[in-house]
Chain A
């Protein structure tokens, strides 16, 4: 009905802000009546994904905001929630890759591999992982963030990157080994818990 549409347009003009608090367990899956209905819930993971890709929280926020604006302006939007989620991550990934190319920073990849079989697990903590991720190359950061932060399955990632599932399987294994090596090489040590 035109009048309803007009009222809705005026509500839109007032521009209710879309706030996103970080919620690690938030799956971001909502109904598809509004194709962008799940965008708000996706934002924290999109920012986290972009932050790992870029190693820069502010730049990550900027590209996610830009990607969201681009998505909202898109003429064709996936109606299925899962497809919408993959589409949003693809937009952010492409923007992050462009930003990395623009910066032309040398890839600070860790080539050493950790001894996974005798690794000191006490060194694995949020702080050391964050530090370690910054020392990885783009390919390793990308595969870890897609699987462990965005929560995509191997087949989703394979489709997104255009590689076989077997390649994803070997890539994530190598990336985690590299991350453990980076943690091992880092001077950052997690504080020991008083409660053991």
Chain B
């Protein structure tokens, strides 16, 4: 086949495939109108192309199934985040539970009150930490009245003072907006607060009193102090 026919053949194929630009397409179309061999070849190529395309009709059906690990991998970030959330939640819950157990254990089984050898037997300085009140000062003088003065302070400015003296001594009431006195054993106690809501003071003073009594219920003390700690408002005054 001469080179002219080879070029014609390539042009005809490109025409059948829609690959010719407008100018080339117009030129070959003009020749197709006059050249019978060229027109016959074009028809043959067009028919061949159509028949080749038809061969796709009876291909076997494909059924693909995504491997399960691909689905896992595709959503790995979400799954990992969920696992982290679950593990984190479990860890936090466990920590909270352990902390709770520790607090209960401290409150119920640990030493709640302080006993001092330099004070008369049975003298008890209550611990109010569970209610958020820290013992910040303790002054005692076995030869004077009161025998001791304990000072507690909370995070929101609440301040309590506890005094104790032998039963029978005449001690004037200390200044404060709330006051509770009780007798336990051979000692009289007095707890005072400034600006503390009555409901909270009652809970704390009850817990303090229970700690000074022999055989009191540690669970009750703990419950009182916890309740006093819950939503503790600041002390005004």
Contact = CB atoms under 8 A, between A and B. Distances in A.
Contacts of A128: 51
B71 A65 contact: no
A19 B63 contact: yes
Query: Size range of the interface on B?
Result: 35 or more
B48 A44 contact: no
Best-surrounded residue of B12, B56, B73, B85 (most CB of chain A within 10 A): B56
B82 A133 contact: no
B59 interface: yes
Nearest to B67: A69
Contact of B57 (A4, A6, A18, A24): A24
B14 A169 contact: yes
Contacts of A6: 75, 78-79, 82
Contact of A17 (B37, B47, B64): B64
A4 B68 CA distance: 17
A185 interface: no
A124 B48 contact: yes
Nearest to A12: B71
A8 interface: yes
Interface stretch (B38-46, B108-116, B131-139, B215-223): B38-46
Nearest to B1: A113
A68 B14 CA distance: 32
What's the dominant secondary structure at chain A's contact region? helix
Interface in B169-196: none
B51 A12 contact: no
A15 B65 contact: yes
A161 interface: no
Contacts of B9: 116, 173, 177
B102 to A, nearest CB: 32
A24 B19 contact: no
Nearest to B10: A173
A81 interface: no
Contacts of A9: 71-72, 74-75, 78-79
A60 interface: yes
B117 interface: no
Interface string A25-60: 000000000000001100111011001100001101
Interface residues of A, number: 66
A47 B60 contact: yes
Nearest to B54: A126
A45 to B, nearest CB: 6
Given A118-B40, A147-B17, A15 B53 contact: no
A93 interface: no
B62 interface: yes
Given A9-B79, A124-B51, A173-B13, A57 B59 contact: yes
B23 interface: no
B125 to A, nearest CB: 52
Contacts of A18: 62-66
Contact of A2 (B38, B62, B66, B82): B82
27 contacts: A2-B82, A5-B81, A9-B75, A9-B79, A12-B72, A12-B74, A13-B68, A15-B66, A20-B61, A20-B64, A22-B56, A39-B64, A43-B62, A44-B59, A44-B62, A58-B60, A61-B60, A72-B66, A73-B73, A113-B1, A117-B41, A149-B52, A169-B14, A170-B10, A172-B17, A177-B9, A179-B48
